[in-house]
Amino acid sequence: MRFSPWIRGVAWLAAALLTTLLAALWTTPSLAQRPTLSKNVRQYVAIDTNVVALTHVRVIDGTGAPAREDQTLVLRDGVISAMGDAATVQVPAGAQIVDLTGRTVIRARDDARASVLSHGSGRVR
């Protein structure tokens, strides 16, 4: 079946726009710059890196299910990218590893934030 040049042009334009949109959506997170922290804020930041692995932690997921013991959470750009048994979750190369044995993480509903509870000073080092 042959299409008119006008139809082919519209189809080509639609394909080009869709490709551009998908490329923009695919690359946008990698182009986002990390915020620059002021000197006043930096004094309260113990970990400042793109990828962090919280290992050997107890996780409460907020659904009412029992807490999960000895879990590893991988946070990439502040978002949980992996979670599971500490023995099975692979920690990405170059990730900063924080052993949180004896501590609890409570997942937020949107998985964008995690809180760490401590029985000591409250600081994670």
Statement: the pTM of the whole predicted model exceeds 0.75: no
- Residue 53's DSSP bridge partners are 74, 97
Q: What integer pLDDT is reported at residue 13 of this predicted model?
A: 67
Instruction: Answer yes or no: do 22 and 74 share one domain.
Output: no
Residue 64 within a domain:
yes
56 lies in the same domain as 3 = no
Tell me which residue of 47, 69, 50 sits closest to 60, measured CA to CA: 69
Helix (H, G, I), strand (E, B), or coil: what is residue 54? strand
Question: Which positions ≥6 away from 115 have C-beta within 8 Å?
Answer: 105, 106, 108
CATH number at residue 109: 2.30.40.10
Going through the chain in order, the beta strands assigned E by DSSP cover 51-60, 68-76, 79-85, 96-99, 104-107, 114-117
Tell me whether residue 125 is in a domain: no
> Which structural domain range is residue 109 located in?
51-117
Residue 42 within a domain: no
Give the amino acid at 6.
W
How many distinct structural domains can be found in the chain?
2
Tell me, yes or no, whether 85 and 27 share the same domain: no
The pLDDT of residue 32 is 55
Residue 61 and residue 28 share a domain: no
Mean pLDDT by 10 residues, the chain (125 residues): 68 64 55 74 85 92 89 89 94 94 79 48 47
